[in-house]
Amino acid sequence: MLVELGLVEQRHKAVLEVLGGAAVTDVALRNGVSRQTVHRWLRRYGAQGLSGLVDLPTRPQTCPHQMAPEVEAQVVELRRKHPSWGPRTLGHRLERQGIRPLPGRSSIYRCLVRHRLVEPKKRRRRREDYRRWERSHSMELWQMDVMGGVKLSSGQELSIITGIDDHSRFCVLARLVPRATARPVCEALAAALGAWGVPDQILTDNAKVFTNRFGPGDGEVLFDRICRENGIRHLLTAPHSPTTTGKVERFHKTIRAEFLSGRVFASIEEAQAELDAWVCFYNRERPHQGIGMDFPQKRFDLRPLETLEPPRPKLKEEEPASLGPVPRLSRRVSQKGKISLATFSYHVGSFLAGETVEVQIAEGLVQIFHRQVLVATHARRHALDAEPRSWQGPRQPRRASTPTVGVPVVRKVDPSGHISFAGTAYRVGNDYLGQEVEVRLVGDTVQISRAGRLLRTHAARHDKQKEHGAFANPKGRPRKKKAS
């Protein structure tokens, strides 16, 4: 009759055999284990008795870097008091309280998961996957926007006109208004300029209170006029691109989580007073994760002060330099939302397909404007010697090194800046769209001129057998007569 023994019983029987005088090698062979295993059973049996033959868990008995229970209790308490605080903010608070050793951010996160204070993330993006942009100094750029959701006990809903400094995250503007129309927005901007000074640039979206970019006509709105009169460059985001103003949008999330969550105010005056107090706390006391857990006020105070250069005596032989406007070049946007410049294509946006834009190069940047509004900025990818001559003003026609001879053929420049000769397209230039030019054959070259001045010279690329058709119609293909 076979009797099934448990694992502990088998080990106990093996130990008793050895203690009875059997050889360790023979006992190990009968049980299918090594001699070292039998000796381990003997040691554990001698130290703990029968309970020492039970398998121990593989989990370590101790963890030297495990979070202390006291610290874990403080983390849980802080999180329950402030549900919007994440692991980084909680760690910063523990450091200010003098907790040593300070747990890492991942340890705090696992603690929150254990206590079910945060949902575990399935996939976390790596830190190097994020691309962040910010200005190098304060007062270089402000981001402005409008948010709603401020409720009064009367049922009315207010809006907040917000503005933060791009570099320091300092809140320069937070004003409550019943309706965010053009006049209140501009009054709030004027108040912020009077309180903190004039920035170099202001970035907004394409709302009607900020721009007339998609409105009827080309006139400027009041917001643009204030920017122009104060020397501020007004930048606009591309349509449907809220991430461009990501810093002020993230500021809105902070306001909703830490100030507006579940609150209803009695009046607009009371709401404005409490909002001002919260903004003061945000600027001076609340550490900001985006700037290394520093206070926005501390970064904002490092802004460079404006200094005036002493007047330099003007010498007689010196002549004032004439600083004219930066030249621009017109381009038509393709159906794919791109323009061509010096054999390179630059993206503008498919929403401007078919529109005419202006291109300007300044400090190594290719800036693209539509209706005097900056719509795209790219780093210059073409060489300086490849820039069109139109950057230097009106195109000066080149003189022919060889006298222009041959029978002239008149052609009209098409909307793409080309003419057709003998079934082949030759480039003339966008400066002559819709104008008539003369085409002549000089040796193996095709010369294009207008009013006796040579515009372009190309190597002949057409089929020689098709030249008779071009010379047979020197003034172009005759128009077809309609049948009567």
Instruction: Give the tens place of pLDDT for each residue, 166-217.
Output: 999 999 999 999 999 999 999 999 999 999 999 999 999 999 899 988 877 6
Q: Go through 306-326 and write b for each residue having 16 or more CB atoms within 10 A of its CB, e for each that does not.
A: eeeeeeeeeeeeeeeeeeeee
Q: State the pLDDT confidence band at 150, using cuts at 50, 70 and 90.
A: very high
β-strand partners of 412: 436
Q: State the pLDDT confidence band at 271, using cuts at 50, 70 and 90.
A: very high
User: Is residue 245, in this structure, part of any structural domain at all?
Assistant: yes
CA separation, residue 332 to residues 238, 358, 415, 420, 421 (Å): 18, 9, 10, 20, 24
Pairing of strands 373-379, 141-151: unpaired
User: What is the average pLDDT across 397-414?
Assistant: 67
User: What is the average pLDDT across 33-57?
Assistant: 89
User: What is the average pLDDT across 345-367?
Assistant: 82
End-to-end CA distance of the chain: 119
DSSP state at residue 119: P
User: What is the average pLDDT across 75-99?
Assistant: 90
290 and 160 in one domain? yes
82 and 37 in one domain? no
User: Is residue 2, in this structure, part of any structural domain at all?
Assistant: no
List, edge to edge, every strand of the sheet that includes 365-370: 329-332, 356-362, 365-370, 373-379
* Between 467 and 294, residue with greater pLDDT: 294
pLDDT at position 311, please? 40
List CB contacts of 169: < 8 A, sequence separation 6 or more.
247, 251, 288, 290, 291, 296, 299
197 and 282 in one domain? yes
Among residues 279, 300, 321, the one where a domain terminates is 300
pLDDT at position 403, please? 47
User: What is the average pLDDT across 385-410?
Assistant: 56
User: Is residue 126, in this structure, part of any structural domain at all?
Assistant: no
User: Is residue 484, in this structure, part of any structural domain at all?
Assistant: no
Pairing of strands 329-332, 338-341: unpaired
Please determine, for residue 367, whether its predicted confidence score (pLDDT) is greater than 60: yes
- Cβ atoms of 213 and 254 within 8 Å: the answer is no
CATH number, domain containing residue 152? 3.30.420.10
Q: Mean pLDDT lowest for which of 102-116, 312-326, 381-395, 435-449?
A: 312-326
User: Is residue 368, in this structure, part of any structural domain at all?
Assistant: yes
Q: Mean pLDDT lowest for which of 2-11, 30-39, 102-111, 279-288?
A: 2-11
pLDDT at position 307, please? 42
Mean pLDDT of the chain: 82
Q: State the pLDDT confidence band at 349, using cuts at 50, 70 and 90.
A: confident
Phi, psi of 50 (to 5 degrees): -65, -30
pLDDT, tens digit, 9 for 90 and up, residues 274-328: 999 999 999 999 988 888 888 899 889 887 555 434 444 443 444 444 444 556 7
pLDDT at position 475, please? 64
User: What is the average pLDDT across 373-385?
Assistant: 73
259 and 168 in one domain? yes
pLDDT, tens digit, 9 for 90 and up, residues 249-261: 999 999 999 999 8
386 and 413 in one domain? no
278 and 152 in one domain? yes
Q: State the pLDDT confidence band at 479, using cuts at 50, 70 and 90.
A: low
CATH number, domain containing residue 110? 1.10.10
147 and 296 in one domain? yes
418 and 343 in one domain? no
| Boundaries of domain holding 49 | 7-53
Residue 46 is inside which H or E element, if any?
helix 35-48
User: Is residue 209, in this structure, part of any structural domain at all?
Assistant: yes
173 and 275 in one domain? yes
pLDDT at position 396, please? 46
pTM above 0.75, yes or no: no
Most confident option among 87-91, 347-351, 388-392: 87-91
pLDDT at position 324, please? 46
289 and 147 in one domain? yes
User: Is residue 149, in this structure, part of any structural domain at all?
Assistant: yes
Closest Cα partner for 159 from 323, 271, 6, 322? 271
User: What percent of the chain is modeled with pLDDT above 70?
Assistant: 83
pLDDT at position 273, please? 94
User: Is residue 418, in this structure, part of any structural domain at all?
Assistant: yes
Q: State the pLDDT confidence band at 4, using cuts at 50, 70 and 90.
A: low
List CB contacts of 356: < 8 A, sequence separation 6 or more.
330, 331, 332, 333
User: What is the average pLDDT across 331-338?
Assistant: 86
* Between 407 and 232, residue with greater pLDDT: 232
343 and 216 in one domain? no
Looking at the structure of the chain, the number of domains it has is: 5
Phi, psi of 94 (to 5 degrees): -65, -35
327 CA to centre of own chain: 28
281 and 153 in one domain? yes
User: What is the average pLDDT across 151-172?
Assistant: 93
